[in-house]
Amino acid sequence: MTRRKHSSLVMILAFTVLLAPALVAGPVWAAGKMAPSTVEKVLQRGVLKVGMSTFVLWAMKDKTGKLIGFEIDVARRLAEDMGVKVKFVPTKWSGIIPALITGKFDVIIGGMGIVPKRNLKVNFTIPYDFTGMSVVAHSQKAPGLRNLSDLDKADIVIAARLGSTAVTATKKYFPKAKLRLFDDESQAYQELANGRVHAVVGSAPTPAFQALKYPDRLYLPLDKPFTREPIGFAVRKGDHDSLNFFNNWIRLVAAEGWLAERKYYWFRTKDWEKLIQ
């Protein structure tokens, strides 16, 4: 064998050794043996695990302790269409994204606003709803508030849920006000009802619901939300197959009119009140 042929053979052998892992992995990938997507795991398991946090109208408990609300309807319909059961995993809002990333549940369906800071950590579906920030105030502790500037004062204390876009909105629109944060949104509204804060900023229409619940103590300083934000499911990064499925499911139920129907029921009627009273 000539020196040139020997050198060429050595180079081919070395190149083959370097490519060996790829050559082995190639057919595995081509045969569809990649790690299963979240949707595939759900179908194999037979259960869709949904991360959520309770807050009125989106997710709350009825008289029997059963979860009800707009988001609960969405998650139940999604699981039904997948042919699986649904398991809700109540989680504090401040830790819900880390819990998704570590695999404690499959998807977040919890009124989560699509914002860049969150999108750096998770992937969002197309919007299945839109919401906005609204504010409710205590009629005796903070009478006469009628515009954004009335709330942007150093002697005003505003409550909001920790980790929510209500915090971002409060800091942006009311930078002079004092901000008190609560893990549970119901705690913030209870503080307001008890007169320990001047106002609460939260996703519409919950502030309006609270004003109806306590008409002798609470009122709406603004007649409509002062922000607008899209709401989406959150899934782990890199799971494009699941993202594709969820996006197309949202398109389907929106085209059917089902999403609009459920939102109207929960946000425009009081037919559900008998379930919690």
Q: How far apart are CA 97 and CA 89, in angstroms?
A: 13
Average pLDDT of the chain? 87
216-241 in b/e form (b: 16+ CB < 10 A) is: ebbbbbbeebbbebbbbbbbbeebee
Say if residues 185 and 153 touch (Cβ distance below 8 Å): no
Q: 158: pLDDT confidence band, cut at 50, 70 and 90? A: very high
Q: 277: pLDDT confidence band, cut at 50, 70 and 90? A: low
pLDDT confidence of residue 22: 40
What pTM did the predictor assign?
0.75
Q: Is 63 exposed, middle or buried (0-12, 13-18, 19+ CB in 10 A)?
A: exposed
Q: 33: pLDDT confidence band, cut at 50, 70 and 90? A: low
Count of beta carbons in the 10 Å neighbourhood of residue 86: 19
Q: Which two tokens stand for residue 178?
A: 């004092």
Say if residues 126 and 244 touch (Cβ distance below 8 Å): no
Q: How far apart are CA 159 and CA 44, in angstroms?
A: 43
pLDDT confidence of residue 227: 92
Identify the weakest region by mean pLDDT among 13-27, 64-78, 96-110, 128-142. Answer: 13-27
Q: How far apart are CA 163 and CA 203, in angstroms?
A: 13
* Cross-strand bridge partners of residue 182: 161
* Closest CA relative to residue 111, chosen from 52, 152, 158, 169: 52
Q: Which two tokens stand for residue 123?
A: 């992937």
Q: How far apart are CA 210 and CA 213, in angstroms?
A: 5
Say if residues 229 and 114 touch (Cβ distance below 8 Å): yes
pLDDT in tens, 101-116: 999 999 999 989 999 9
Looking at the chain, how many residues does it have? 277
Is a pLDDT exceeding 60 seen at residue 24? no
Q: How far apart are CA 107 and CA 52, in angstroms?
A: 9
pLDDT in tens, 87-105: 999 999 889 999 999 999 9
Q: How far apart are CA 72 and CA 70, in angstroms?
A: 5
Q: For residue 90, what is the DSSP state? A: E
Cα 183-211-157 angle, rounded to 5 deg: 50
Can you list the domains of the chain with their CATH numbers?
Answer: 38-130+229-275 (3.40.190.10), 133-219 (3.40.190.10)
pLDDT confidence of residue 133: 93
pLDDT in tens, 56-99: 788 989 989 999 999 999 999 999 999 999 999 999 988 999 99
